[in-house]
Amino acid sequence: MGKNKLRKFKDLETNPLVLQYPFGVLKETGFPLKGKWHSEFFHNDLPIVLELGCGKGEYTVGLARRFPDKNFIGIDIKGARIWTGAMAAMRENIGNAAFVRTSIEWLESFFAPGEVSEIWITFPDPQMKKVNKRLTGTRFMEMYRRILAPGGVIHLKTDSPFLYTYTTLMARHNGLETVTDTDNLYATIAQDDPILNIRTHYEQQWLDRGLTIKYFAFKLGNGAPLAEPPGAEDIEPDTYRSYSRGYIECPQLLEEDE
């Protein structure tokens, strides 16, 4: 492991805004702040908003700066990624931001039923062949539903046509309430929106390559168990996902990439 990574991990251990609990510890003793985030960490009753797979924490920190009337928690398993946002929040003394280093599959170990008001899913791997790993799949949606307060909103921001199509089909098939839906965010509603104009590291890469950004916000509600949408297996895959994240296959850009 490089010295830079070791330094970042050491920084995270002393950063009061970062919580790291290995699964073994969670299984043995549980997470002490579960159900107590308001009273024992943020010391307020403001709504709690999660960013799942937060990466460098651009949304977590950006939203916390803009909205002091809410609390924001970034979730990611990669400590070296979290470091960027966590250190920025600590330097700026942003008291309504925090980071949890864990797998998204363990969310219910950290949050009690109804403790979360909103969830942001920003540029996740679309997991085109693994629906059970897909962060907008019904398996994960049922888990989100259990920790969300009534009326809680899910926000998906993605470059992936596949994931956008799948998620909108899933929501409509299950009769979920749509809040906002656009397949070309910056050509429609985002010009003056202080939330949607926060751009992540990967998002800027996709924009620089000429891809459009899709945004879909919806409410899960408390209805019947969610079902996978029929025909989801026929959704056209994202061709550029067959390559590394640094390369995007777009016919209009072949000359530039050669």
Q: What is the rounded radius of gyration, in angstroms, for the C-alpha atoms of the chain?
A: 18
Residue 203 burial by Cβ neighbours in a 10 Å radius (0-12, 13-18, 19+): buried
Considering 11, 125, 181, 183, which one is annotated as catalytic?
Answer: 125
> Are the CB atoms for 158 and 183 separated by under 8 Å?
no
Tell me the residue length of the chain. Answer: 258
Structure tokens at 100: 């949890």
| C-beta neighbour count of 89 within 10 angstroms | 25
> Are the CB atoms for 148 and 116 separated by under 8 Å?
yes
> Are the CB atoms for 146 and 113 separated by under 8 Å?
yes
d(CA 97, CA 73): 6
125 has catalytic annotation? yes
Catalytic residue numbers read 125
